[in-house]
Amino acid sequence: MGACAKRPPATSTYPRCTISAARELNAPVYPDTLAFAHMLAECGPSAASLIAAQCQYCHILIFIKLSPVSTKSGDVRLEEYNSECLLRQVQAQNRPTTPRGAAYLARGTRALGPAWRKKTRFVFVALTGYRDVPQLDEDGQPIEIRTTPLHRVALRETSKSSNVIPCKYGLIDVVRKFLELREDADIIVTETGDSPLKLALLGNHRDVVELLLRQTTVEINAWDRDGDTPLIIALRYHDWKLAERLLQQGANPNLANVRGVTPLHEILLKDKYNLDTECLVERFFMIVEDVQRSVQVNVNAQDKDRGDTPLHLALRRGNKKEAEFLLSRGANPNLVNATGKTAMFIVCNRWSNEDELLELAEMVFESSEEQFKPLQLNVQDERGETALFRPLRRGEKQLVKLLLERGIDPNLANVDCEHALHQSFMRNYDVDMVRLIFEHSQERYHPLRINAQMKGGLTPLHVAALWNKHEVVEFLLRRGADPNIANDHGETSVHHLCNYDHKPELFSRAQALFEICAENGQSVRIDAQDNDGSTPLQWAVARHSPMIVDLLLDRGADLSSFVFPTESYFNAGFRAVSRRRVEKKFILASGMLAVVERLTARGYELYRSDALTIMKIFPELNMFENSADLENNWYDDEEFATQAEQTMINLNLSLYDLIQLRPDEARRRLSSMEYYEFARTLNWLYLPERLRDVCARHLCEKLSRRFFLSWALDPFIELIHNRLPILCCDMILDVLMNRDLHNICLAAC
C-alpha cells in the first residue's frame, strides 16, 4: 500500500494528526501506516472530515473526525459521530477538557438513547486524562504485542474494506483514490453483507454510485444480507434515475430477494398512494424495454411470504391503473396466492365503497376476457370460500349481481358447510340478496341447494328463523325450503319460530309458515321433538307466547301428550329479563297467565307442580305487590291520575278505573289476554316513570289473584291438618297477599 502513495510535503498537517493520534494512544506506527496517511493527505480538504489509516500487520484502523472548537469555553461541539472518533480528535490535538464538557459527556443525551450514553461514558473516561500505560518486557521496554483501545475498534472494523467507509459517507475523492489504487469495488462486509454500492445507495450518494457503476468489477446483481439487489433498493427509495442507470448496466429486472420480492413487487409495495398520478409499473416496463430489449419482465412472479403476484398487490391497494396495465401485459388473474385467493378474491375482500369495488371487478373481467376466458370464479380459498362470500356478508348487491351474472356458483360451501344462501341475510340485509341469488343462478345451477345444512345442521330456513328474517322465511318457503329438517340438536324451523317471546311479527311469521306449507301441499311436523324431547308447543309456553300457543293448537298440536315445561325452561328467559324495564316484566307475567288460560280452555289440567312453577315466576320478576305500596296512595298522584284516566284498557275501562276495582271485579271484567295485550302497548311510556313499577306490580297482583287463591287453598288445608272448614280457610286466604299465598304453597311442598 505504501508503494502506491506519494509522499506529501513536510508541511502537510493531515498525516501529522493521524500519526500523532496513534502515538498518543501508544499504538505502534508502521511504514505502511505512514504511506497510507500521506496518500490520504493528497485528497485535500474535502477528505479532512474523515482520515483513516490502516495497518495490515496489526489490523489498526484509526478514525479522526475534525470538529470546530468553541472559542469561548473550549468545549468540544458534540455531533452525531462515533465516540471513538471524538476520542482521537481530542487526543490528537492534545487539548484538555473543561468540567462542563466532561459533565455533559458523562451525563449523555437522553434523546439519543442508551447506546449513545454508553459511548459518551467511554469518551468521558478518555477526556479525564486517562492514558494507556503499556506493560513492560524484561528489558523495561513497552510490549508491542498487546491490546489497546484502537485494537478493540479494529476488531469491530476488520471485516470492512478501506473503501466501504468512504462509500457509506459519500467521500467521492477518497473513493476515487481507492479505485485508482485498484481497491476492490465489490468487497462485501462479512458481518452485514453490505457492499460499497449498497452503502452508497442507502446514503443517497449519487456521485459515488455513478463512480462505482463505471467500474467493471462491480457486481450489479449482488445480494446483500437481506437478499436485496441494488435495483430493489433504488426502487424502494423511488430513485428512478438510479434504477434506470442500474438497468443500463445490466441489472436483472426479474431478480428477486430472499423473500421472493422482485423489482416489480417493490414498485407496487411502495406505490400505495400513487393512485392518481403516473403508472409507475408502466414506467418500469418502458425503461426495461428501452435499455434491455431482449429481457421480458416476469409479470406473474410470486413472493414467498404470501404468494402474491404484482397483480395481487395492485388490486389490494385499489390501484386500477397499475392493475389494468399488468393485465394488458399478461398478468394471470387466475393465479392463487398462499391463502388460495385469486385476483377477484382480492377485489372482493377489499374494504372500500361498493362503487370502487364494482369498477375494479368490471375492469378485471374486461381486461381478462380475451386472454383468460372464462375467468375462474369458482376457486375456493383456504377456508373454502369463493369470491362471492365477502360481498354477501357486506350486503354489496351490485357486486354480488355482477359475480352471479358472470357465473359464480352459489352452491359451493366453505369449511363450515356454509353456502351463499346462509350468508345472504346474516348481517341485517333484506330479502333482495336472497332473491338475487335465485334470479341469476336458478337456471345455471338448478336446483339451488336451498336445504343445504351448515355446521350445526342449520339450513338457510333455520338461519332466517333464528335471525328473525320474516320476509326471508316466506321467500324460502315459497321456493321449496323444508321446514321439517332438524339441526344437530333436533330442532326444526318451527322450534325456532317459537323461540322468540312477544316479537310483534312473531305470530304473523309463524302463521305464514303454516299457510305457505299448506299451499305447497307440504305437511309440517308440529309435534317434532328436539334432542331434549321438547316440542314447539313447550317452547311457546316457556316463552309466554299465548298467540303462538293458540296457533299451534289450532294447527293440530297434541295437547294430550303435552308436558308442562319445567322450571329450567323458564329460568333461561328470566335471567335475561331480570334487569329489564318493568314493562317487559309485566308482559312476561301477563303472558304466562294468558298461556295458562289458553291451555285450560283447550282442556289441559294443571298439576300442582305446574302451578308452583308458574308462581315462582313472579318473585323472579319482582312482581309481587308490597304492603308499602298499599299504604302509599300512589294512584292519587295528580300527574299519574290524569294520564291513567286517559289510558284506555278497552273501550269501556280506563287504567284509572281498573286500579280502583277490587280483584274479583277486575278479573270478571278483564281476561288475562286483555292484560297481556295492554302490556304490549306503548301506553306505559306516557305514565310517570317513578310510578310505573308500583303500577305494574298492582296490576299483576289483581291479574294473578284468582290463580294464587285457587292453588293455595289445598296446601293451606294440608298445613292446618283440616282443622278449619273450607269457608273459614277461604276467608283467611282472602286477606293475604299473593306473596303470602306463594309461601304457603312452598311450605306444603
* The pLDDT of residue 446: 64
Tell me what the mean pLDDT of segment 142-155 comes to.
Answer: 62
Q: Find where cell 284498557 sits.
A: 649
Count Cβ neighbours within 10 Å for each residue of 169-196 and write b for 16 or more, e otherwise: bbbbebbebbbeeebebbbbbeeeebbb
All three cell numbers of 62, joined, read 484509526
Phi, psi of 724 (to 5 degrees): -120, 150
* The pLDDT of residue 706: 92
In angstroms, the Cα distances linking 569 to 178, 499, 542, 575 are 90, 11, 6, 11
Q: Regarding predicted confidence, which is higher, 458 or 206?
A: 458
3-state DSSP call for residue 716?
Answer: helix
Tell me what the mean pLDDT of segment 238-250 comes to.
Answer: 80
Query: Last residue of some domain: 160, 184, 205?
Result: 160
Q: Terminal CA-to-CA distance of the chain, rounded, Å?
A: 110
* The pLDDT of residue 127: 58
* The pLDDT of residue 193: 58
Distance CA 691, CA 582 (A): 10
Distance CA 402, CA 405 (A): 5
> What Rg do the C-alpha atoms of the chain give, in angstroms?
45
Contacts of residue 573, defined as CB under 8 A and 6 or more positions apart, other chains included, come to 501, 542, 543, 544, 588
**Percentage of the chain lying above the pLDDT 90 cut:** 33
Domain membership flag for residue 598: yes
* The pLDDT of residue 504: 62
* The pLDDT of residue 188: 57
pLDDT of 670 higher than 80: yes
Spacing of C-alpha 747 from chain mean position: 56
Q: Which residues are 60's β-sheet partners?
A: 55
pLDDT one-digit tens code per residue, 334-374: 999 999 999 999 999 888 888 899 999 999 998 887 777 77
Domain count, the chain: 2
pLDDT of 560 higher than 60: yes
- For residues 336 and 379, is the Cβ–Cβ distance under 8 A? yes
Q: Regarding predicted confidence, which is higher, 241 or 186?
A: 241
All three cell numbers of 183, joined, read 481497491
Domain membership flag for residue 219: no
Least reliable range by pLDDT among 125-129, 225-229, 380-384, 471-475 = 125-129
- For residues 540 and 549, is the Cβ–Cβ distance under 8 A? yes
3-state DSSP call for residue 90?
Answer: helix
Phi, psi of 142 (to 5 degrees): -60, 135
Domain membership flag for residue 184: no
Domain membership flag for residue 697: yes
Query: Last residue of some domain: 160, 178, 194?
Result: 160
Contacts of residue 451, defined as CB under 8 A and 6 or more positions apart, other chains included, come to 459, 460, 461, 481, 482, 485
pLDDT of 631 higher than 80: no
The highest-confidence range among 108-122, 145-159, 376-390, by mean pLDDT, is 376-390
Tell me what the mean pLDDT of segment 104-124 comes to.
Answer: 46
- For residues 264 and 297, is the Cβ–Cβ distance under 8 A? yes
Distance CA 390, CA 403 (A): 12
Question: Of how many residues is the chain composed?
Answer: 749
All three cell numbers of 631, joined, read 299504604
pLDDT of 198 higher than 50: yes
pLDDT of 536 higher than 90: yes
Tell me what the mean pLDDT of segment 473-501 comes to.
Answer: 88
pLDDT one-digit tens code per residue, 26-70: 444 433 333 444 444 444 333 333 333 333 322 333 333 333 333
**Percentage of the chain lying above the pLDDT 70 cut:** 69
In angstroms, the Cα distances linking 580 to 505, 584, 622 are 21, 7, 11
Query: Last residue of some domain: 160, 187, 209?
Result: 160
∠ at Cα 253 (250, 256), nearest 5°? 120
Number of Cβ atoms within 10 Å of the Cβ of 124: 20
Phi, psi of 653 (to 5 degrees): -140, 125
Domain membership flag for residue 20: yes
- For residues 644 and 654, is the Cβ–Cβ distance under 8 A? yes
Number of Cβ atoms within 10 Å of the Cβ of 201: 28
Q: Find where cell 473550549 sits.
A: 74
Distance CA 265, CA 403 (A): 28
- With CA atoms as reference, report the closest residue to 392 among 371, 414, 367, 372: 414
pTM beyond 0.75: no
Distance CA 123, CA 491 (A): 80
* The pLDDT of residue 604: 94
All three cell numbers of 646, joined, read 286517559
Mean pLDDT score of the chain: 76
* The pLDDT of residue 360: 92
Q: Regarding predicted confidence, which is higher, 275 or 599?
A: 599
pLDDT band at 179 (very low <50, low <70, confident <90, very high): low
pLDDT of 93 higher than 50: no
Q: Which domain holds residue 7?
A: 2-160
* The pLDDT of residue 227: 76
- For residues 299 and 326, is the Cβ–Cβ distance under 8 A? yes
3-state DSSP call for residue 654?
Answer: strand
Domain membership flag for residue 704: yes
pLDDT band at 108 (very low <50, low <70, confident <90, very high): very low
Domain membership flag for residue 7: yes
Least reliable range by pLDDT among 45-49, 129-133, 454-458 = 45-49
pLDDT band at 247 (very low <50, low <70, confident <90, very high): confident
Least reliable range by pLDDT among 26-40, 212-226, 304-318, 554-568 = 26-40
All three cell numbers of 732, joined, read 283467611
Tell me what the mean pLDDT of segment 560-588 comes to.
Answer: 75
Number of Cβ atoms within 10 Å of the Cβ of 9: 7
- With CA atoms as reference, report the closest residue to 605 among 543, 562, 567, 570: 562
